[in-house]
Amino acid sequence: MRHFHFIVGALTFFISTGLQANVLVLVHGYLASPSSWEQSGINVTLEAQGWKRGGLFSNTPAGVQLYEADNKADNTVYVVDLPAEAPVIVQSDFLLGMLNTIRQKRPDEPLIIVGHSAGGVVARMSLIRGGAKNVAALITIASPHVGTTRANEALDATNESGPFGIVKNLFGGSDYDTLKRSRGLLFDLTQPYPGNMLYWLNNQKHPDIKYISVVRLNPVGFAGDDLVPGYSQDMNNVTALQGRSTVITTPAGHTLVAQDANTIVSVLKSIKTD
């Protein structure tokens, strides 16, 4: 019943805003890609409910390319392909360029950004760096807004200083190599403390838009999942956003699931046109 009230509260909140979402931008997380939204069944469910695929922003040797779908749907979904192992600031640069391209194509339509995992943090960075024009709301799913100890553990595991550094480098394997390449991002996802990225980001003025935190519930009903604790998934715990985020809890692990599409659509349907 408690979870039901969360969702009802969220819907009531949006009905009163007088907004209509026409463009949805899906931002994947760490070690993920645009295919995450397909493989989870989210895009299929969105399309069945009137949100058509608008195109894919992909990184190519020639730069970012938009592969646009041939449809004229009122409600359009774009997915972005970010360098998922790169630091947050690098990913946000790519996302800013992609958002600007969408605005040029659909200048009068509000954008809703959905970020999964680290993608939610990347989206926030883009917004405070000038990417909030035409953005009506940010929805984040299982995002580490206040960091995660998993990032610290990965940094410790890939620290090659000391007597065991050479051994780690020789015998770490492909997963170890991936973590090594990701150390810049992992530093960004450690808990906020003076001097690190999250501390800076979480103390910046955020744009006056709607914020929705989708917080996972583990199998025994406590907030959080195996990678990000529940309090970190709640944007109300961001210093600059206290009291500004609606919270919706969903029973799932950290990865995307088809039910996330229904959560997104429940929010989108409640946003009305002026």
pLDDT along the chain (274 residues), means of 10: 43 42 92 95 94 89 80 87 96 94 89 97 96 91 97 87 44 74 96 97 96 93 94 98 96 96 88 45
pTM for the structure as a whole:
0.87
What CATH homologous superfamily does 2-147+197-269 map to? Alpha/Beta hydrolase fold, catalytic domain (3.40.50.1820)
Place of tokens 């819907």: 11
pLDDT confidence of residue 10: 44
CA neighbor of 143 nearest in space, from 114, 117, 115: 117
pLDDT confidence of residue 105: 87
CA neighbor of 148 nearest in space, from 227, 87, 203, 215: 227
Residue count of the chain, please give it.
274
CA neighbor of 53 nearest in space, from 39, 70, 66: 70
pLDDT confidence of residue 67: 87
Could you give the 3-state DSSP secondary structure of residue 56?
strand
pLDDT confidence of residue 232: 98
Do the Cβ atoms of 51 and 23 come closer than 8 Å?
Answer: no
| Helices and strands, counts by H and E, the chain | 12, 8
pLDDT confidence of residue 174: 74
pLDDT confidence of residue 20: 54
Domain with CATH 3.40.50.1820 in the chain: 2-147+197-269
Please give the Cα distance from 128 to 241 (Å, whole number).
12
